[in-house]
Amino acid sequence: MAEIIPLSPEGASAAPEPFTGGACKLHPQTMCPAFGALRVLARIEGAQPAMVTDAGCLYGLTFVTHFYAARKSIIAPRLGTAELSSGQVQEAANAVIAEAAKEQNVSVIPVISLCVAETAGLAEELLPSEVNGKPVVLVRVPAYAIHSHPEAKDIALAA
């Protein structure tokens, strides 16, 4: 027979209070703040966003962006555990920037750097400042430093 795991700490004698409307103490989670920056950058005419992050964040942000932004493709390197642990973030970012520069009607390449890329060590000084005459702009929006959509939007526009 399975072991019964109590829901209250051992030794607690008081019965838990019944649920009453408005008594829930959970806080709803919001979408990653980088989504705000991505929405703004995807809507800029001539901008080809290149996102540097892990596969999970990339999937979630591109999925949501397809519906709430400009329905523009986002170019990103494939960064999994192997690439991150072997230090290939910089090379992957440079390769995706070169790929973005090949796209037609591109006038600027915003490189959106999220938590994983920032933690893994994406170096701004090792990114090209322009490729084929198209400026490359690094937009750093890791969720551990940027806490809201409006703040991420402001950072994206300021970049």
Q: Where are the domains of the chain?
A: 34-158
In this prediction, residue 60 carries a pLDDT of: 84
Mention the CATH class of domain 34-158. Answer: alpha beta
What pLDDT tens digit does each residue of the chain (159 aa) get? 556 655 555 666 666 666 566 655 555 566 788 888 988 998 899 999 999 998 888 888 888 777 776 677 889 998 888 888 888 899 999 999 999 999 889 999 999 999 888 888 889 999 999 999 999 999 999 988 888 888 999 999 998
For residues 96 and 124, the answer to whether their CB atoms sit within 8 Å is no
Q: Is the pTM of this model over 0.85?
A: no
